[in-house]
Amino acid sequence: MVDVSQITSTGTPSTPEKTGPRQLGQDDFLKLLITQLKSQDPLNPTNNTEFVSQLAQFSQLEQTAKQAQLLQKSLDAQTASLQFTLLPMVGRRVSIDRPLTQLENGQASLTYALEKNAARVQITILDQSRQVVRTLDYTGLQAGLNQAQWDGKDSKGVALQPGIYEYALSAVDQQGASVVAKGRAQLTVTGVRMEEGEPKLAVGAITVDPSEIVEVQ
């Protein structure tokens, strides 16, 4: 229900005026200073020292505003420069220490590192909703980097859409004790994207911070 008290003569709801404190800018400061000069008592004018102090405050405020503008322009220019610096990475294949895989043309590689030899390794592939779509099992794997191949199909044999998929690792040794396993993604950079004011490498729907890259191919 519309509040009748907020309906103007034209029949449309009126927008309430914004209230509350706001910061004073240099224009507001100057207007206050001029108003003070106009309203001062001619028989008791503003003290020269006080007046000079107020002018100094105004000058300092103006300089601070200009410095802030110059700083912002410098930051904008630096951000734009960083974006152009990352452009040569588009189309390159990069490796990052995250359990992700990129499904392309019905094929995907899943790279991972084992802290020591593992009797059994299980790889659980998840979709964008973090639902399990496929589980792969391997035996007798050596410590160090290993790589598994995925045909891009789910557990029912249905081909899945290309894109980025996450996977979880579980590894045990001959005695059944857990073995540390860490995923390493090998992804193709598709573009450069701004995220929270910072340029990032785009890989499909996800972004990668350049600091995450451990290898470029």
> Is residue 196 domain-resident?
yes
Query: What pLDDT is recorded for position 45?
Result: 55
> Is residue 70 domain-resident?
no
Closest CA to 190 of 55, 86, 91: 91
pLDDT digits (tens, 9 = 90+) for 182-208: 999 999 999 988 887 788 899 988 899
> Is residue 33 domain-resident?
no
> Is residue 53 domain-resident?
no
Whole domain around residue 170: which residue ranges? 93-216
pLDDT band (50, 70, 90) for residue 82: low
> Is residue 152 domain-resident?
yes
Mean pLDDT of 7-30: 53
Q: Which two tokens stand for residue 77?
A: 């220019």
Interatomic CA distance for residues 101 and 201, integer angstroms = 16
Q: What percent of the chain lies above the pLDDT cut of 90?
A: 47
Query: What pLDDT is recorded for position 152?
Result: 95
Amino acid at 66: K
Q: What percent of the chain lies above the pLDDT cut of 70?
A: 63
DSSP-assigned letter for residue 201: E
Query: What pLDDT is recorded for position 54?
Result: 62
pLDDT(9) > 50: no
Q: Which two tokens stand for residue 166?
A: 């996450």
Enclosing H/E stretch for 119: strand 118-126
115 Cβ partners below 8 Å, 6+ apart? 143, 179, 180, 181
> Is residue 41 domain-resident?
no
Inter-residue contact 182 to 112 (CB < 8 Å): yes
Mean pLDDT of 29-37: 67
pLDDT(21) > 60: no
Average pLDDT, whole number, for the chain? 79
pLDDT(74) > 50: yes
**CA max distance for the chain:** 100
pLDDT(65) > 80: no
> Is residue 17 domain-resident?
no
- For 143, other C-beta atoms within 10 Å of its C-beta total 13
DSSP-assigned letter for residue 189: -
pLDDT(79) > 80: no
Number of domains the chain is built from: 1
pLDDT digits (tens, 9 = 90+) for 103-157: 999 999 999 999 999 999 999 999 988 999 999 999 999 999 999 999 999 999 9
Query: Looking at 24-28, 87-91, 162-166, which range is the least confident one?
Result: 24-28
Query: What pLDDT is recorded for position 86?
Result: 83
Query: What pLDDT is recorded for position 199?
Result: 85
Query: What pLDDT is recorded for position 30?
Result: 65
Query: What pLDDT is recorded for position 31?
Result: 72
Query: What pLDDT is recorded for position 28?
Result: 67
Q: What is the CATH number for 180?
A: 2.60.40.4070
- For 113, other C-beta atoms within 10 Å of its C-beta total 15
> Is residue 42 domain-resident?
no
